[in-house]
Amino acid sequence: MSHRSTIQQDSGFKLPIDEAPVLAGRAGAYHETEAIGPLRDHFQCVWTNKIHGDHAGRIAVVPDGCVDLVWVDNRIVVAGPDITSAHPSLAPGATILGLRFQPGAAASVLGLPMSEIVGRQIDLTELWGRKARDLADMIEETRTTASRLRVWQSQLQQLLPNAAPSQDAPSLEMRAVFNAMKAGRAGGPKIRSILDRLDISERTLRRRCQNHFGYGPKTLDRILRFQSFLRIARAERATGLSDMAFAAGYADQAHLSRDIRALCGMSAGALVRQLAP
């Protein structure tokens, strides 16, 4: 299960295999719940991650095709879509709170194309001004994780421009694209099927994906295939890499290994070892 509890990242940083960073979910106690009420139209989940008090070393947040609002150190930041792992600097014992947008929902809520924030984290005050600062302060004033989540969600229901179920057709259409890619096999035939279903051109699909996800359909497909591998690896720890690669939609084990290295900077073996229960 990936998540994006990050406000800083070192772009392009490569670690030796024996110094691989720790996956964010393994560096702390990570937990997800549903968003409350009408927020479910905008957010697929609410999450928390309490970093272990004795954690040392670097943390990796791997690409997942999603955008999050993240509260940490009394700030709310927008964690944009990533193409490679982010490496947050988080203190041992820190508690991070997050709301993960529904696929395709962030662009309309935040009012900017996701292509502008790929690989970036921006302070929400840049988009919402004083409202974001006041919201962060209200979260900080409460003392428990549960109460902070309640306050955050309660205030968001009042601040979001469309707290009621959205009728934004492009957002709903892009959510369907995301889910179709997540469920299907990888590659050109899947994208062709989506084009036929939506009755749009490849150029139009690319433009809409860049606006709502930050990158084109081929990159999104690659990231979702990687996420499929992560789910399979967690569920089938004893299965060989070759079998897991095939199940996730890769051409072969070498294809899987190249994508793992490119997307998260680890060897396949180093990554799989961290996915053990």
Task: Please report, to the nearest 10 degrees, the dihedral formed by the alpha carbons of residues 222, 225, 229, 232 taken in order.
Answer: 170
Query: pLDDT of the chain along its 277 residues, tens only?
Result: 444 433 333 333 333 444 678 999 889 999 999 999 889 989 999 999 999 999 888 899 999 999 999 999 999 999 999 999 999 888 899 999 999 999 999 998 999 999 999 999 999 999 999 999 999 999 999 989 999 999 999 999 988 855 444 556 667 889 989 998 888 655 567 788 888 888 889 999 999 999 999 999 999 999 999 999 999 998 866 578 999 999 999 999 999 999 999 999 999 999 998 887 6
State which residues form the domain around 199.
169-274
For residue 12, what pLDDT is reported? Answer: 36
Asked which of 95, 128, 159 is the last residue of a domain, the reply is 159
DSSP 8-state code for residue 20: P
Helix axes 202-213, 188-198, angle to 10 degrees: 100
Residues 132 and 223 in one domain: no
Residues 137 and 175 in one domain: no
Task: Determine the 3-state secondary structure of 150 from DSSP.
Answer: helix
The answer to whether 93 and 77 have CB atoms below 8 angstroms apart is: no
Asked which of 159, 191, 210 is the last residue of a domain, the reply is 159
For residue 170, what pLDDT is reported? Answer: 67
Residues 71 and 135 in one domain: yes
12 lies in a domain? no
81 lies in a domain? yes
Residues 6+ apart with CB under 8 A from 137: 74
Asked which of 132, 159, 186 is the last residue of a domain, the reply is 159
Residues 51 and 69 in one domain: yes
Please give the Cα distance from 192 to 168 (Å, whole number): 24
For residue 13, what pLDDT is reported? Answer: 34
Of 78, 44, 84, the residue nearest 62 (C-alpha): 84
For residue 168, what pLDDT is reported? Answer: 61
Residues 194 and 220 in one domain: yes
Sign of the alpha-carbon torsion through 94, 100, 117, 83: positive
72 lies in a domain? yes
Residues 104 and 194 in one domain: no
Residues 108 and 190 in one domain: no
Q: How far is CA 258 from the centre of its chain?
A: 21
CATH of the domain at 266: 1.10.10.60
For residue 9, what pLDDT is reported? Answer: 36
